[in-house]
Structure 1
Amino acid sequence: MKNIFFLLLISTVQPVLSQTKLEKAITNLENNYEQEKVYILTDKSQYAAGDQIWFKSFVFDGYNRSPLSTTLFVELYNADKKLIDWKTILLTNGEGSGDFKLKGDLPEQVYFVRAYTPYMTNFNEDDQIVKVIPIYNPNSTQTLEVSKTSDWSAKAFPEGGAFINGILTKFAVRLLSNTSLPEKWSGKIIEMQNPNVPITTFTSFDKNVASFTITPALGKKYQAIIEDNTGKKQTINLPEVADSGLHLEVSSSKEGIKYSLKGVNLKQQLQNYKIVGTINNHLAYKANITQLMNEASSLIPTKISNGANGVLQLAIFDEQDNLIAKRLCFIKPNNLKVEKAEIIGQNLKQTPRSFNSIDLSPESYFKNYTVLVSDDDSSNKTDEENILSSLWLTGDLSSKIDNPAQYFSKTANAEALDALLISENWKRFDWNSVLSGTTPTLKPNSQKFLSYRVKPLKDNALMKDTNVNLVLRLGETEPTINQFRTDQMGYVYLNNLSFDEPLNVSVFVNSENGKESNNDNLFVTVEPLVTPTPFKGNFPTTKYTLVTATENKKLSPAISRAINTQKNSKKLEHVDVQIEEVQLVGKKKDPKEELDKQLSTGMFSSVNSTIFDFVNEDQHAAGSTNILDWLQGRAAGLTFQRNNSGINVPYIRGQQAKLYLDETPTDASMISSLPINNIAMVKIIKGSGLIGDAVAIYTMRGNMKSKNNEKATQKNNVSVIKGYDKPSEFLIETLDTDDPTKKIENDTRETLYWNPNLFDSDNIPPRIKFFNNDTAKQYKVLIISFDEDDNLLYENEVFK
């Protein structure tokens, strides 16, 4: 057959006025449908109340880690859609990690983890990941059970959507259920006028799908009769047999994807039909049929995806640019492009509480790893979902898939995956909507990281178009003073902030026209501009049901182990707290001396100095306008003179003294505007040391609290804002100890090692190191990584 196709390599967009309906749709798709999806890895599949859920998130733009977002919201809901907890996660190269500490009194039920970026809220809420997490509690009056009944329904899908007279057609049969699917099922195809003679039979590939082929005859009606392994049956009708239309047939190989078209009783045959292939909402292939003919075929080479795996959405359009047929197909299903970890050494033992290690190559192209090591109990349970199935299937397809990870396992059946894709739809966009010109309403480009709107008020009035000073103190770092001018609405904006410690924001104003600055009746609020979005949809149905618990509630081995592990952790924490308390009792030092050592450096040390401690002592400074006014008459040799702005300037023995704020040179106007509540210490240095006569002001750090505020009314010109949630540290320690107070009799940990950011440092081999529990004889090791080109490394093996 002559090659009547051509591949369009589009480097520029044609003018809109000259574009056809389909070309406009493709331009619309390219410009407006960039989308993200999320995969959440948790250290376990089920938890006990009181446990800690460790999670790692991966955000993808197509099949690459997303550069679009730097913020991810991860939320924990109960079955009644009540928000239990939520985290704001910092994304670096599309990756971020965190944890939830579960309360010990959480009722036993199914919980849901929802994850999304602010950018994802531009699109359908159904595109956001919702992960099912069963949480058990032995004290709950209800208990979770896996549903024993399988209430399923079946559908039959002809390849390409057409069922045409005399054309051999491949069908996919798909089972769907709100609870669980039967282990095995089979079926037969009958003609309704002759039901006793099966035309063909089929057996399920897995719980989800089966396939068969049939050549229909016009005027006949066909049915599929499906029966599961428990004897339950269902009869469904196949589509009506048409006398005209387009038949699409697709097959995938290592060379590429071959498609064949057959036109039956078409007016212009296949002339001017277009074939469009998209990968991740982007045009990957486009061809036109330029001649009159009823049959055509071609091979789409794997170079359209640079040889990478993924789903190609093939769509066929007629001469009027109407969508006629579509089909999803997987690129190179038998040749997954997934790298394996390069392990250069391992030291694994079965001895209880023994030290174990696995060394990864420092010369690998992969530098940052996510690693999870668990006790493998030889149950041979496989993960129902993993990063491969999320990346290539569930993140983009419309319906619920049972055990999607099986399609990318070592024993995967490429025929089953192909049948599954015949039965599925691409949920990221609908061709008919795009053809009609529909576009998502995208919010204005959000700021990178976090942004806040600060609203200062003076005497309950907005301070519009006014100079204000903001004191920003992050955690235990030194505060910074920044001058801003409010806009016409009275707001100041703090944009593109990345922090994971509490950020204290204080507002104050400078003096004007020679008057003393007055910071009374100042109030400040800070509103985050990037906020979580309420969940409006419905959670997915699950295989679990809640029933009334019996008097002797039986726990699964995994949950019993988790509860015992919690008891061990509490015992160790209790002993550590007692030891710390004993150590603190033995320490008795001068608090003012300790404060001076904490805040000042050697350059500001002097034997001839006077120190005022605002942290440990009440200095009765609440009634003073500013710290310079308060200092008058409090230190021998220190006097003050007012400058042209009416601000007190310090003098020591007749000479103007130097002024320092946190040991940085400053002037009296800045010091006079500083709220006294923010001051931790004042040091008067007289004619000695390295800096001469000076007044040094030190501001609060960390969790310091001024004694001056204990009796004074708290002012409202301070607001504390929360940034990104810092992940907790997963401790790598052995429970084996000679200390009888710390003796743990039964180490039952399931998660032995969790590190969402194991990295290569100075060519030192990245080492996975952990201690065994009391029973593990083999270890399940999961390793995930991406190189600079977003090639994926995925290792999920059992080590002995």
Structure 2
Amino acid sequence: MKNIFCVLLLSMVHPVLAQTKLEKALTNLEDNYEQEKVYLLTDKSQYAAGDKIWFKSFVFDGYNRSALSTTLFVELYDADKKLIDWKTTLLTNGEGSGDFQLKEDLPEQVYFIRAYTPYMTNFNEDFQIVKTLPVYNPKSKESLVISKSSDWSAKAFPEGGTFINGMPTKFAVRVSGNTSLPESWSGKVIDIQNPKTPVATFKSFDKNVASFTLTPASGKKYQAIIQDNAGKSQTIDLPQAADSGLNVEVSSSKEGVKYTLKGVNLKQQLQGYKIVGIINNHLAYRANINHLTNEASSLIPTKVSNGANAVLQLAIFDEQDNLVAKRLCFIKPGNLKVEKAEIVGQSLKPIPRAFNSIDLSPESNFKNYTVLVSEDNSSQNTEEENLLSGLWLTGDFTSKIDSPAQYFSKTTNTEALDALLISETWKRFDWNAVLNGSAPAIKNNSQQFLSYRVKPIKNNALLVNSTVNLVLRAGKGDPMINQFQTDQNGYVYLNNINTDEPLNVSLFVNAEKDKEASTDNLYVTVEPLVNPTPFKGNFPTTKYTLVKSGENKTLPPAIARAINTQKNIKKKESADIQIQEVALVGKKKDPKEELDKQLSTGMFSSVNSTVFDFVNENQNAGGSNNILDWLQGRAAGLTFQRNNSGVNVPYIRGQQAKLYLDEVQTDPAMISNLPINNIAMVKIIKGAGLIGDAVAIYTMKGNMKSKSTEKETPNTNSAIIKGYDRPSEFPIEMIDDDAPEKIENDTRETLYWNPNLFDSDYVPPRIKFFNNDSAKQYKVLIISFDEYDNILYDQQVLK
């Protein structure tokens, strides 16, 4: 929550007026600790090799969608921290989307998706989201199984971090582990001198936490004994109680946060103590106790967060501005400010492959929606994490929390959430560092879109303090001429570039006196200034382990269905090709066929191929970086993934395709450096004889000339800017029963995915999809934000 300042007075409390050490620290906090967090939604929680991962990202600055960043890097890693693929995602109002195509030969293991903005790299890497995704492959020699090990440990945390003799103190007990936590556990507290008689008992609220209250006696030492449902136990020491200090008691309700402070054996009692409330590194509440008293209490109203839900960090400082206690609590834990979708109409039919629709209200304050519709399977587990838990919990806390979404469900136990927050620490800043004047070094400032540094060269010399002309052309758009003045180092800067098409940058300079203008001896390079950052940390531990596969490998039912869906997609693509071939029967040979016959030998001849003719047809390829970039999205079943060198590698039906140049096998790097104007023909071959899946590229021969009407620019004076990755379009068409290869069993799990469903001109936003062959009811997730960043989060089962 931004820019919230509220001074509330106790009966003996007055506002802080002097510029104290604490005041300076609060100014430091306001000015230097703005931070972002990311929540990443995927269409499924587990995948089969060969699947496509659809994702939607939400970037927040505190509890509002972030306006700081417009660029998000989303990276896919294997378990060995090898980068498999990455996307540069455009953020609009803090939201962005994209997809990853998984290879069919990916080994079965846990994979990780990392997401972060360039601005987030100024801070602790632990706050960058790393999402765990198990990927299964029936051909792998190893299988993922959920670990049966429950190697856990426990800790006890006194409320406020203080434990004073004679003062009732609430404790949170927190269980953590690298794998699965026990289903339930309980415990007791004993006096070491009299262990047979428990002084307190407790039972877990959930897998994470429990709580108890204890009033320590002077000179006593206490231990907690925790035992899980399997019989494993652990004994931990409670902290030694002090004879003096501050006791803190906090409770949250729908009216606000009530706190009570009690001083024990303090020289000046609570005089000079300060109470500070922080929300998202911003001051929300502040008070100062100026009179002699041993007890003070007050209610912090919900208006400190504008009535919204939030985590409030309460910090108490003594008369010397030393931090003496701190406590995290949740504002309005039992009253979540979350809106539900206004559904004004629906037509749902539990009939195989039937058309279904859901209409949302056009009069709602929410205009842009993220929608996911899946088949509801009652055997599926409840979601472990969601947008709400990412926004209010896991986005700000780096410790592992089991099933954090449970704390914001309809059946949530507010005592459990409170105990969890007692056991947590706010690590986005350190109070001692802030009090000492320390501030994070901001090396990557937030900036709009992408930026590049252009280095123009003429006759092998930098053009320093010179006027140059850059012609910019995005995709097939019209070229734009821009005049720039290079700086003292010979650079030109292109800032605020927002494009998801290849941007061609061509260099021209004015002719010297009495000389003709020429592009000879001109050279230009473009260096991106907004770049991904290598991952240095460790991936989170998971509940999965790999074991050697047996002869008859068993797959989870959802994975078996996903693999069948992949087969259906291949059948449909094959059927489309057959239909195209049938349509060509009886036609006269055209120039493309003649070119194919001229360039292809028998081994490379196939009826199951797609040909692109650059001699007789204008393919408008001048705006692409290379032929591999141009081929993206132009042939059914052909996809691309970038390798570690940033070069696109072709895949046909999930398998890496062979590359041929004039029928000699080559590699993507060679092809990426081939000028497009030298290419006569490209042939996409699918499963043909000895060649198999292949992309064959043929160069111009003899007197061949490109049909393109575009003026080819020599490569030496031009370069290509890649820009943002454009999201793929989710297919919603029904699988055709009349195709030559009939789809016998439609097993799609994700029936509808739309990360950007718009409301336009008071027409109801419509969710429309075709059923699979088994769904009787549908799990529908709808997410939206209004102009004030109020949340709509609605997950329900419709039938």
Deviations 1:39-91 (A, max 9, x none): 00000000011100000000000000001011100000111111100001111
Question: 1:299 and 2:312 equivalent?
Answer: no
Tell me how far apart the structure 2 counterparts of residues 559 and 589 of structure 1 sit (CA, whole Å). 45
Which residue of the partner structure matches residue 672 of structure 2?
Answer: none
Relative to 1, partners in 2 of residues 1:466 and 1:614: Cα closer, same or farther, differing over 3 Å? farther
Shift of 1:199: 1.2
Relative to structure 1, the CA distance from residue 488 to residue 616 in structure 2 (aligned partners, 3 Å threshold; closer, same or farther) is: farther
Letter in 1 for 2:537: G
Please give the residue correspondences for 1:468-479 in structure 2 after superposition, counting only pairs within 5 Å. 468-479=468-479
| The 10-residue stretch of structure 1 (156-165 or 714-723) with the greater mean CA deviation from structure 2 | 714-723
User: Contact between 2:471 and 2:481, CA under 8 Å: does it hold in 1?
Assistant: yes
Q: Call closer, same or farther: CA 1:544–1:273 in 2, change over 3 Å.
A: same
Check 1:708–1:755 CA distance in 2 against 1; reply closer, same or farther (3 A cut). Answer: closer
Partner of 2:783: 784
TM superposition shift of 1:334: 0.7
Q: Distance in 2 between matches of 1:301 and 1:472?
A: 55
Q: 2:120 aligns to what SS in structure 1?
A: helix
Equivalent in the alignment of 1:745: 744
Give the Å deviation of 1:484.
2.2
Which letter does structure 2 place at the counterpart of 1:420? L
Is 1:568 matched up with 2:568? Answer: yes
State whether structure 2 residue 206 is matched by structure 1 residue 198. Answer: no
Question: How far 1:234 moved relative to its partner?
Answer: 0.3
Over alpha carbons, which structure has the higher Rg? 1
Letter of the 2:229 partner, please give it. N
**Which deviates more, 323-332 or 539-548?**
539-548
| DSSP-derived class of the 1:100 partner | strand
Q: 1:251 to 1:282 in 2, by over 3 A?
A: same
Q: CA deviation at 1:380?
A: 5.0
1:403 has 2:411 as partner:
no
Superposition map of 1:311-350 within 5 A: 311-350=311-350
Partner of 1:504: helix, strand, or coil? strand
What is the alpha-carbon distance in structure 1 between the residues aligned to residue 349 and residue 736 of structure 2? 15
Match of 2:797 in 1: 798
Residue correspondence of structure 1 range 184-263 to structure 2 within 5 A:
184-263=184-263
Q: More displaced, 513-522 or 261-270?
A: 513-522
Return the offset for 1:201. 1.0
Task: State the distance in 2 between where 1:708 and 1:214 align.
Answer: 83
- Displacement, 1:518? 3.1
Question: How many angstroms does 1:715 deviate by?
Answer: 3.6
Partner amino acid, structure 2, of 1:718: S
Contact 2:746 2:773 in 1 (8 A): yes
Matched to 1:100, the amino acid is F
Q: Distance in 2 between matches of 1:577 and 1:163?
A: 74
Code of the residue aligned with 1:747 in structure 2: it is D
Equivalent position of 2:500 in the other structure? 500
- The letter for the 2-side match of 1:4 is M
Q: 1:552 deviation in Å? A: 1.3
Q: What is the CA-CA distance between 1:524 and the residue it aligns to? A: 1.6
Kindly report which structure 2 residues correspond to 1:62-77, keeping only aligned pairs within 5 A, or say none.
Answer: 62-77=62-77
Q: CA deviation at 1:508?
A: 2.5
> How big is each residue's C-alpha offset from its partner over 1:170-196, in whole Å with a ceiling of 9 and x where there is no partner?
000000001110000000111111111
Alpha-carbon spacing, 1:446–1:213, altered in 2? closer, same or farther (3 Å): closer
Q: Secondary structure at the match of 2:716?
A: coil
* Aligned-residue offset at 1:296: 1.0
Q: Which residue of 2 aligns with 1:38?
A: 38
Farther off after superposition, 472-481 or 190-199:
472-481
Q: Which whole-Å deviations, capped at 9, do the CAs of 1:137-176 have from their partners, x for residues lacking one?
A: 1111111111101000000000011111111110000000
Cα 1:444–1:106 shift into 2, 3 Å: closer
Cα drift, residue 501 of structure 1: 0.7
Task: Give the alignment of 1:557-596 within 5 angstroms.
Answer: 557-580=557-580, 586=587
2:654 corresponds to: none
Give the structure 2 partner of residue 442 of structure 1: 442
The match for 1:758 is 757
| Structure 1 pair 340–38 and aligned structure 2 pair: CA distance change class (3 A) | same
Gap regions ≥5 residues in structure 2: 1-8, 593-612, 619-674, 680-704
Return the alpha-carbon distance in structure 1 between the equivalents of residues 412 and 131 of structure 2: 24
CA distance in 1 between partners of 2:252 and 2:232 (Å): 34
Could you give the per-residue CA deviations for residues 596-649 of structure 1, whole angstroms, max 9, x where no partner exists? xxxxxxxxxxxxxxxxx997599xxxxxxxxxxxxxxxxxxxxxxxxxxxxxxx
Secondary structure, aligned partner of 1:344:
strand
Task: Please say if residues 10 and 298 of structure 2, whose CA atoms lie closer than 8 Å, have aligned partners that are also in contact.
Answer: no
Where does residue 658 of structure 2 map in the other structure?
none
Q: CA deviation digits over 1:696-747, x for unaligned, max 9?
A: xxxxxxxxx947999x9964222122111110000111124223x1410010
Change (3 A) 1:713 1:342: closer
Instruction: Flag the 1:709–1:360 CA change in 2: closer, same or farther, 3 A.
Output: closer
- Please list the CA deviations of residues 270-326 of structure 1 after superposition, one character each: whole Å capped at 9, or x if unmatched: 001000001111100001111101111111111111111010000000000000000
Q: Is the 8 A contact 2:190 2:222 kept in 1?
A: yes
Q: What pairs with 1:593-604 in structure 2 (closer than 5 Å)?
A: none
The answer to whether structure 1 residue 4 and structure 2 residue 12 are counterparts is: yes
The secondary structure found in structure 2 opposite 1:764 is coil
For residue 473 of structure 1, report the CA deviation from its aligned partner.
1.6
CA contact (8 A) 1:614 1:679 kept: no
For residues 341-490 of structure 1, what are the structure 2 equivalents within 5 Å? 341-443=341-443, 445-490=445-490
CA distance in 1, matches of 2:41, 2:483: 43
Cα separation, 2, equivalents of 1:504 and 1:251: 60
Match of 1:652? none
Superposed displacement of residue 7, structure 1: 5.9
Cα displacement string for residues 409-458 of structure 1 (whole angstroms, at most 9, x for unaligned residues)? 01000000000000001121111111111100012634310111111222
Rounded to whole Å, the distance in 2 between the matches of 1:787 and 1:210 is 37
Q: How does 1:175-186 map to 2 (within 5 A)?
A: 175-186=175-186
Aligned to 2:551: 551
CA distance in 2, matches of 1:536, 1:706: 48
Q: Distance in 2 between matches of 1:713 and 1:211?
A: 72
Give the Cα–Cα distance (whole angstroms) in 2 for the partners of residues 579 and 109 of structure 1: 38
Q: Residue type matched to 2:532 in 1? A: P
The alpha-carbon deviation at position 379 of structure 1 amounts to 1.4
Secondary structure of 2:198's match?
A: coil
AA paired with 2:750? T
Match of 2:767 in 1: 768
Separation of aligned partners in 1, 2:406 and 2:394: 12
Displacement of 1:202 after TM fit?
0.7
SS in 1 for 2:526: strand
SS at match of 2:329: strand
How far is 1:520 from its partner? 1.9
How far apart, in 2, do the equivalents of 1:776 and 1:262 lie? 59
Give the residue type in structure 2 aligned to 1:489: N
Secondary structure of residue in 1 paired with 2:196: coil
Distance 1:33 1:430 in 2: 11
* Deviation of the 1:577 alpha carbon: 3.1
Say whether 1:135 aligns with 2:135: yes
Summarize the alignment of residues 583-732 of structure 1 with structure 2, pairs less than 5 Å apart.
586=587, 616=616, 706=706, 715-732=715-732
Q: Which residue of 2 aligns with 1:518?
A: 518
Q: Secondary structure at the match of 2:284?
A: strand
Give a deviation string over 1:526-556, Cα, whole Å, max 9, x none.
Answer: 1111010111111111111111111211111
Give me the whole-angstrom Cα distance separating, in 2, the residues matched to 1:165 and 1:677: 81
Letter in 2 for 1:765: P
Paired letter, 2:71: T
C-alpha contact 1:314 1:326 (8 A) present in aligned 2: yes
Kept after mapping to 2: 8 A contact 1:498/1:724: yes
- Distance in 1 (CA, whole Å) between partners of 2:128 and 2:509 is 45
* Range with greater deviation from structure 2 (450-459 or 286-295): 450-459
The 1-side partners of 2:387 and 2:10 are apart by 42
3-state secondary structure, aligned to 2:774: coil
| Distance across 2 between alignment mates of 1:341 and 1:276 | 37
Question: What secondary structure sits across from 1:197 in the alignment?
Answer: strand
Partner of 2:95: 95
Q: Check conservation: 2:10, 2:297, Cα contact below 8 A.
A: no
